[in-house]
């Protein structure tokens, strides 16, 4: 089914929050440099699934994970794996834009400093590069020292993407990145995604079916914690194999 190389894959992934079994036996292959959308009704566990991919889920008290997640074939949940290393390779953009209460420049430079880059010149170069990639450079080049919180919602979210890109991750996880933005800002980001997938593997969780259809190459449908169906986006949307998938896509529920 999938011709491209597999970047990330989960094998019988289970996630519990205390006694709540949120993600059940999830086995999914995510192809490299493609956009994979994860869709499903509210509360089906999409966000939890996403957050297990960069080990953010373990920050929740009482969270438990079993199964494997392989990045380039290596299990990221292995005992000797440093989760901060994983997060440098797998970046994340959140639902509500969350730039730091710092300047625009500092926001993008933050990740670079985490990476250990301290030289002024190099930092400036890389910050500019990131901001250009998300199409923000022209808009903010004269006010890099102003607070990031002065930007509009759409600009902030692009800034967050720039921030994530700065550390040159291999995978970018996006948790409903446009749900708090207006249509114009949303369109800008969707255009950005087409650009980004040339260089990055993207997994995007969305409850917006049209967006998933527009943007993604592959789609995974999740329901009550389980992976119901997964395949090329056209297949899923035009010829779903599972009844639940069909009901969801035609708007019967969710």
Partner 1 sequence: MKEKIRLKLSGKILTFPPASVSILAVFFIFIFVFSQGLPLFSKISPFNFFFNSTWRPTATPPSFGIVPLFLGSLLVTSLALLISVPLGLLGAIYIAEIANPKIKEQIKLTVEVLSGIPSVVYGFFGLRVLVPLVQKTFGLPTGETALTGGIVLSIMILPTILSLSEEAISSVPVEYKEASLAIGATKWRTIRSVTIPAAASGITAAIILGLGRAFGETIAVMMVTGGAPIIPTSIFSPVRTMTQTIAAEMGEAVFGSTHYNALFALGIVLFTVNLILNLLAIRLIKKKKW
Q: In whole angstroms, what separates CA 211 from the centre of its chain? A: 14
For partner 1, which is the closer residue by CB, 62 or 183? 62
Return residues touching partner 1 (CB under 8 A).
54, 56, 59, 84-88, 91-92, 94, 96, 98-102, 110-111, 113-115, 147, 149, 160, 163-164, 167
Q: In whole angstroms, how close is the CB of 9 to partner 1 at the nearest point?
A: 21
Q: In whole angstroms, how close is the CB of 87 to partner 1 at the nearest point?
A: 4
Q: In whole angstroms, how close is the CB of 153 to partner 1 at the nearest point?
A: 14
Q: Is 35 exposed, middle or buried, given 0-12, 13-18 or 19+ CB atoms closer than 10 A?
A: buried
Q: Do strands 90-93 and 171-175 pair parallel, antiparallel, or not at all (unpaired)?
A: parallel
Distances (CA, A) of 51 to 32, 57, 204: 19, 5, 11
For partner 1, which is the closer residue by CB, 82 or 234? 82
Q: In whole angstroms, how close is the CB of 192 to partner 1 at the nearest point?
A: 18
Q: Phi/psi zone of residue 45: left (φ > 0), alpha (ψ -120 to 50 degrees), beta? A: left
Share of the chain residues as helix, strand and coil, in percent rounded to the nearest 5: 40, 25, 35
Q: In whole angstroms, how close is the CB of 89 to partner 1 at the nearest point?
A: 8
Q: Name the DSSP letter for residue 210.
A: H
Is the Cβ–Cβ distance between 107 and 98 less than 8 Å? no
Q: In whole angstroms, how close is the CB of 114 to partner 1 at the nearest point?
A: 5
Q: In whole angstroms, how close is the CB of 209 to partner 1 at the nearest point?
A: 26
Distance CA 130, CA 163 (A): 7
Angle at 93 between CA 146 and CA 180, to 5 degrees: 80
Q: Where are the beta strands (DSSP E) in the chain?
A: 6-17, 20-31, 35-39, 63-71, 74-75, 90-93, 171-175, 201-205, 218-223, 226-232
Q: Where are the beta strands (DSSP E) in 105-197?
A: 171-175
């Amino acid at each position: 089914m999938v011709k491209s190389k597999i970047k990330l894959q989960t094998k019988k992934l289970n996630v519990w929050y205390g006694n709540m079994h949120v993600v059940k036996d999830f086995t999914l292959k995510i192809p490299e440099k493609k956009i994979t959308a994860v869709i499903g009704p509210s509360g089906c566990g999409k966000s939890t699934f996403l957050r297990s991919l960069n080990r953010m889920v373990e920050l929740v008290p009482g969270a438990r994970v079993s199964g494997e997640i392989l990045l380039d074939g290596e299990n990221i949940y292995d005992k000797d794996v440093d989760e901060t290393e994983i997060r440098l390779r797998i970046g994340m953009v959140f639902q509500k834009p969350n730039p730091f209460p710092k300047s625009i420049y500092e926001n993008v430079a933050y990740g670079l400093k985490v990476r250990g880059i301290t030289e002024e010149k190099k930092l400036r170069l890389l910050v500019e590069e990131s901001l250009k990639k998300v199409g923000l450079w022209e808009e903010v080049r004269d006010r890099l020292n102003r607070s990031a919180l002065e930007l509009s919602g759409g600009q902030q979210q692009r800034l967050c993407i720039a921030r994530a890109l700065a550390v040159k991750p291999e995978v970018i996880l996006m948790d409903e990145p446009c749900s708090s933005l207006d249509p114009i800002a949303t369109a800008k980001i969707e255009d950005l995604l087409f650009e980004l997938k040339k260089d990055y593997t993207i997994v995007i969780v969305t409850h917006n079916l049209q967006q998933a259809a527009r943007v993604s190459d592959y789609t995974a449908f999740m329901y009550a914690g389980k992976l119901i169906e997964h395949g090329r986006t056209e297949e899923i949307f035009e010829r779903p194999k599972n009844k639940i998938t069909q009901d969801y896509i035609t708007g019967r529920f969710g």
